[in-house]
Structure 1
Amino acid sequence: MTTQTQDPIINLYRDSFPDFARMIRRMGGSLDEAKDAFHDALLIYMEKERAGRLHVHSSPTAYLLGTAKICWLHARGKTTALPESFDPAEDTGDGADEREQSLLESLVRSGRKCMELLKAFYYDHCSMQDIAARFGFNGRRSATVQKYKCLEKVREEITKTKAYA
């Protein structure tokens, strides 16, 4: 019998990630791509949970898997641009142009280096190792941390404008 950890996020990760990794492998993706997309989705999940804006209509696992799949497709260039805090259940399509403009303005306010780093990852599909070399970071882990910090800057700017509230 295995001991179940009390932290629900760890349990959610443990229960959900293997299924997601298998799905991504079947769709032609790599384990690293699955990890990156799943971690981004987990950050979105935790951010919405902390802000009290998490509205799960099925199960937390289904919500997380759906969000992770959107993140993976986005990273592969198979979807249009989505904000990191996109919730498929909340998107109505109303005011999309205004939200896109607001998102673009938030990206610009986050700074040129952040914009270039996020563009390299999400649109140019550069690996974290390539991003580390391009931006002069010590390694893949440093690039990942910088990407996270940039996403946080953008989220902060979005929160200020309340475009996605």
Structure 2
Amino acid sequence: MKDKKDQEILRGILAGDRAVIKTFYKENFNYIRGYVVQNSGSKEDVEDVFQDALMILYEKLESGPLELHASLRTYFFAICKNLWKKRLRKKSKVFTTDTVFEISEELDDDILQRIENQDREHIYHKYFLQLSATCQKLLSLVFEEKSMRQIAEKTGYSEGYARKKKFECKKHLMDRIESDPAYKELRIHTTQE
């Protein structure tokens, strides 16, 4: 399973928790809409695909534990994508040229990449906020591409101490990020592609 948030969402969906389902809808509907609309779909099609995918997810959860190898959002997007392609085939709106199909696949990859990037940002942000205020300030200055001299001036440290502290803070942040199961899952998913 990817992370605790995904587990909570899956439990909420299985329990029929309206608040969880509503939040899941708000967080994922635009991704699905983007894909379906870019591939000859209407707003009604998006709603149908989303609801059908939610039912499929619910049925899979009812039949036993669900093992995710990516984020729940990525998994759900894949269900929606497959449902929409199946509907297109039924409607005989399937793309007939290889070029158009390749463009569609590139769009899928772009959307999946955006989702994975958001997952990475979420993980980074979660652990960044757990750092001490000193580390947050120092790393923020580093990310703003300030020189060591500027960082030393703003923090009141010597350049040598600022450099040492930057290294310690960065290492602490990376150690926490790399120990996160969700981050490990993203790395596995990225290296498999």
> TM-score, normalised on structure 2?
0.35
Higher relative contact order structure (alpha carbons within 8 Å, sequence separation ≥ 6): 2
More helix by share: 2
Larger Rg: 2
Give the TM-score normalised by the residue count of structure 1: 0.41
